[in-house]
């Protein structure tokens, strides 16, 4: 059994669709852009926001940065809590701590927001560290986040796994020599995840629990 488990947040520990999509819609509305239905915005859940605004809506770097600011207007007040913990996650985290695994969150969401979400849902005490991006747009790359999470826990790559729902989670783990576990209940398609070549792909929290507690 590994010594440490790093977890993505959005689409892995919690389902943030309502809050994130409403925040994106708010930003697009303020930028004077067409506002897609929430279901059309699911692919933006997980990757860095500024990148998503550039790639999906053709925004310039400057407009994308302003759109992130507009997004946060809604997210910081309402969207943060329009969210839900996936069934079984709280129990899994408690079981992992009971087996002395060291846990941390590695997320491209700003650290301050990730910490508020975990506190709101009573999960903050499960984790020794929350490693997120900076509000100024720094440290959004998943490889960098996982590297810093390993350093925070003071564990080597061979002793850790990373659990996430998108291709950048898998690629970031692999870039650090960390075992990459992809989960099928989040927002990455099966095709996206398999193309990134995770070490394991699990479809349920129960399956993840069996894998991590072996």
Residue that the structure tokens 């701590």 belong to: 97
What is the maximal distance between C-alpha atoms in the chain? 52
4: helix, strand or coil: strand
39 as an active site residue: the answer is no
β 14-15/4-7 pair status: unpaired
Cα three-residue angle 91-15-101, rounded to 5 degrees: 35
Residues 6 or more apart whose CB falls under 8 angstroms from that of 70 comprise 26, 27, 30, 31
Say how far apart CA 82 and CA 67 lie, in whole Å: 20
Is-contact 180 2, C-beta < 8 A? no
Residue 113 C-alpha from the chain's centroid: 12
Say how far apart CA 48 and CA 68 lie, in whole Å: 10
Alpha helix segments (H runs only) across 121-178: 142-153, 167-175
| Catalytic residue IDs | 8
């Amino acid at each position: 059994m590994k010594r440490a488990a790093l977890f993505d947040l959005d689409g892995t520990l919690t389902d943030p669709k309502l809050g994130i999509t409403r925040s994106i819609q708010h930003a697009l509305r303020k930028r004077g852009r067409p506002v897609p239905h929430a279901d059309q915005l699911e692919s933006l859940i997980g990757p860095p926001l500024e990148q998503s605004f550039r790639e999906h809506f053709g925004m310039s770097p400057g407009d994308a940065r302003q759109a992130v600011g507009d997004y946060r207007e809604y997210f910081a007040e309402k969207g943060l809590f329009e969210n839900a913990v996936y069934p079984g996650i709280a129990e899994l985290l408690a079981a992992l701590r009971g087996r002395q695994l060291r846990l941390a969150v590695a997320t491209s969401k700003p650290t301050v927001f990730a910490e508020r979400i975990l506190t709101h849902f009573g999960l903050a005490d499960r984790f020794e560290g929350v490693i997120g991006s900076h509000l100024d747009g720094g440290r959004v790359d998943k490889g960098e986040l996982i590297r810093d999470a390993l350093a925070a826990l003071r564990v080597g790559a061979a002793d850790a796994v990373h659990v996430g729902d998108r291709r950048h989670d898998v690629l970031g783990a692999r870039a650090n020599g960390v075992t990459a576990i992809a989960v099928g209940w989040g927002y990455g398609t099966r095709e996206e995840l398999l193309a990134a070549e995770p070490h394991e792909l699990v479809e349920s929290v129960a399956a993840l629990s069996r894998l991590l507690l072996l």
